[in-house]
A and B are shown apart, each in its own frame.
Chain A
Amino acid sequence: MTVESTAARKPRRSSGTKRAAGAANAAAKPAAATAQTQDAVPQLVQLLTPEGDRVDNAENAEFAPFVADITTEDLRGLYRDMVMTRRFDGEATALQRQGELGLWASLLGQEAAQIGSGRALNDEDYVFPTYREHGVAWCRGVDPTNLLGMFRGVNHGGWDPNTNNFHLYTIVIGSQTLHATGYAMGVAKDGADSAVIAYFGDGASSQGDVAEAFTFSAVYNSPVVFFCQNNQWAISEPTERQMRVPLYQRAQGFGFPGVRVDGNDVLACLAVTRWALDRARRGEGPTLVEAFTYRMGAHTTSDDPTKYRRDEETAAWEAKDPILRLKAHLLATGGADEAFFTELEAESEAMGKRVREAVRAMPDPDTMAIFENVYADGHALVDEERAQFAAYLASFEEGH
């Protein structure tokens, strides 16, 4: 069911490669990557500046080798992923405005965090998303229209999680981090060479469930990566309302490393996530990755950010746009020409059109679907109520 996701998903086996040896060294001192200090301005792993320049520095030295194999073609692939994802997201927002969707949670601004981390995964890795991971879904090859069913109100999920190793969206904040941890415990028990990644927001990190996920994953040394997109806001509440230390530093207290990465830098997100997944696969346990990014739009289409957010803040983040950054890099290095961008524009338009048409054609569920899949084994009460309700509905047709 892979749809339009073409960027290579290369299997990444860690054993025996040169890079793995280097990474293993680094892992011996995992805290090196996680500023131990309580610096006011915490360190940030960055490979591409907002202007699109490649940087090499002490902070990224440990991670840069993890993208040493990335070719210009790969970069174009990452760019395409981000553009297509943003286009899809924009289309969904428009569809909500037109009344085709009841609600939409936009990922605008978070494309690099999602594509960078999503492309770091192997096919057999397992993803536990929250409700905004449309870019990660894209990387997993989930048909984008499948993501819209629950926002249109025709289902509560809309896809088989096992088809793409992409679990259903979770709306109750933080719950899925425990599911990811348990799944990872199972992976470890099975001796499998794969990892698990759990997505959540900065607000979610306040939930007890997330703290318990940290506890369990540390105690059982589970192969799980906690990927927190710190988009600075939990609806109207800024991160200061959730925590008083930089988010990534929380991992330290649980006994595993935390890294803060520039969440608007797709290359850095790719590198850091690969690094963390590598650790997990090598049996070195969990990692917390904090992707420092920004929610450019409203929390959802029901939200009004003008009530709590300053325009200047949003404007400052606009200058760090993840897509423009990679475009600048591609142009400056001759990695892509205008024709590439023009073609991509047409391709994303076509995808937008296809999504629009698919959503408009999406049928409402059958009324009797209310009683479907309540139990796997069946249940006498459900059967009784289904029969009663069917008879009740039929009574209208008979001109009762």
Chain B
Amino acid sequence: MAVEKMSIAKALNESLRKALEQDPKVLIMGEDVGKLGGVFRITDGLQKDFGEERVIDTPLAESGIVGTAIGLALRGYRPVVEIQFDGFVFPAYDQIVTQLAKMHARALGKVKMPVVVRIPYAGGIGAVEHHSESPEALFAHVPGLKVVSPSNASDAYWMLQQAILSDDPVIFFEPKRRYWDKGEVDFDAIPGELHKARVTREGSDVTLAAYGPMVKVCLEAAAAAAEEGKSVEVLDLRSMSPVDFDGIQASVEKTRRLVVVHEAPVFLGVGAEVAARITERCFYHLEAPVLRVGGFHAPYPPARLEDEYLPGLDRVLDAVDRSLAY
């Protein structure tokens, strides 16, 4: 069963299963992760097979979940905690920002914080408020945290393995509207580096850089652009902290144009950092300013407006056209 086709949800489940099998110090913690298997069923069946001591239903308290995970990590465990939805990470934000992120530095490097915080994030599932947000920039801004997001089943499997093996805290954003998308997972592969961007479609006219849920939109945009004779390269950033600026630079040196796409608000988002760095690094290569497509400086809207709010094919193609028009 070296290669198998499965959903992102299933790949994450398999990844957690493998981590539990390989290292007795790995623990799963969160609300409803046990019997229910999580509201998205990412931990389905794990408590049954690994017991309540390893797959732990926690009280309904996010600060408690992350705070105790820090203590468990101090004691040598490797907790993988689940935050039920993006908007509910904030009760734990204090623990993540003031404690989890800084512990290694404060302890002169003598203490490690191998904690993974899994967060189903971003929109597109027609949910009520606090269930569709993209707070990745708030975490990427914090020194000491690593922030990643897979966009396909293979990355879901391998990136989660790598996050759990990492001795640093990793905020692992799962694109919830892609949970049911299927893709091939090669269980025997040698995975690429966790923080390296990947070219998912080659092109020569303009680079689209995205991560998580927007990679699929960008691939569709590239396919549509190809019909109009435009050659669009799609780069999956995969990691928002650190960002693989070398990977982006290599692509931009080829295409000379860059559009960064994410669901999160554009203002002070990951795209802003990418635009600034790439402008510094590639000033003489660029034929157009780096453009950004993303959310507005407004609360994530009610479900009936999310199709208009979320960057879709048209908005991405519009940015491609604007870039090419310079």
Q: Does A146 sit within 8 A of B, measured CB to CB?
A: no
CA distance A365 to B34 in the complex (A): 39
How would residues 151 to 192 of chain A score, 1 for a CB under 8 Å from any chain B CB and 0 otherwise?
A: 111111000000000000001110000000000000000000
Closest chain A residue, CB of each to CB of B60? A203
Q: Are the CB atoms of B57 and A241 closer together than 8 Å? A: yes
Take A102-B303, A156-B129 as given contacts and tell me if A234 and B60 are in contact as well, using a CB distance cutoff of 8 Å: yes
Q: Which of B91, B126, B127, B303 contacts A207 (CB 8 A)?
A: B91
Tally A residues with Cβ within 8 Å of B: 45
Would you give the shortest CB distance from A369 to chain B, in whole angstroms?
A: 7
Q: Are the CB atoms of B32 and A206 closer together than 8 Å? A: no
Chain B residues within an 8 Å CB radius of A396: 314
Q: Are the CB atoms of A364 and B37 closer together than 8 Å? A: no
Question: Which residues between 197 and 218 of chain A lie within 8 Å of chain B, taking CB atoms?
Answer: 203-204, 206-209
Would you give the shortest CB distance from A58 to chain B, in whole angstroms?
A: 34
Would you give the shortest CB distance from A63 to chain B, in whole angstroms?
A: 29
Would you give the shortest CB distance from A398 to chain B, in whole angstroms?
A: 13
One of B15-23, B144-152, B291-299 at the interface:
B291-299
Q: Which of A102, A203, A374 contacts B126 (CB 8 A)?
A: A102
CA distance A392 to B293 in the complex (A): 12
Take A173-B60, A381-B267 as given contacts and tell me if A153 and B35 are in contact as well, using a CB distance cutoff of 8 Å: no
User: What does DSSP make chain B's interface, helix, strand, loop or mixed?
Assistant: loop
Tally B residues with Cβ within 8 Å of A: 38
Q: Are the CB atoms of B39 and A302 closer together than 8 Å? A: yes
Q: Does B301 sit within 8 A of A, measured CB to CB?
A: yes
CA distance A385 to B315 in the complex (A): 14
Q: Are the CB atoms of A208 and B91 closer together than 8 Å? A: yes
Q: Which of B34, B57, B61, B128 contacts A153 (CB 8 A)?
A: B128
Q: Are the CB atoms of B91 and A153 closer together than 8 Å? A: no
Take A153-B304, A374-B298 as given contacts and tell me if A207 and B35 are in contact as well, using a CB distance cutoff of 8 Å: no
Closest chain B residue, CB of each to CB of A169? B128
Q: Does B309 sit within 8 A of A, measured CB to CB?
A: yes
Q: Does A1 sit within 8 A of B, measured CB to CB?
A: no
B positions within 8 Å CB-CB of A: 31-32, 34-37, 39, 57-61, 63-64, 87-88, 90-91, 126-130, 267, 296-299, 301-305, 308-309, 314-315, 318
A positions within 8 Å CB-CB of B: 102-103, 149-156, 171-173, 203-204, 206-209, 234-237, 241-243, 302-303, 307-308, 364-365, 367, 369-371, 374, 379, 381-382, 385, 389, 392, 395-396
Mind listing 14 A-B residue pairs with CB under 8 Å?
Answer: A102-B127, A153-B303, A171-B129, A172-B87, A236-B57, A237-B31, A237-B32, A241-B59, A365-B301, A369-B301, A371-B296, A382-B297, A385-B296, A392-B315
Leading 3 A-B pairs by shortest Cβ distance: A153-B303, A236-B36, A206-B59
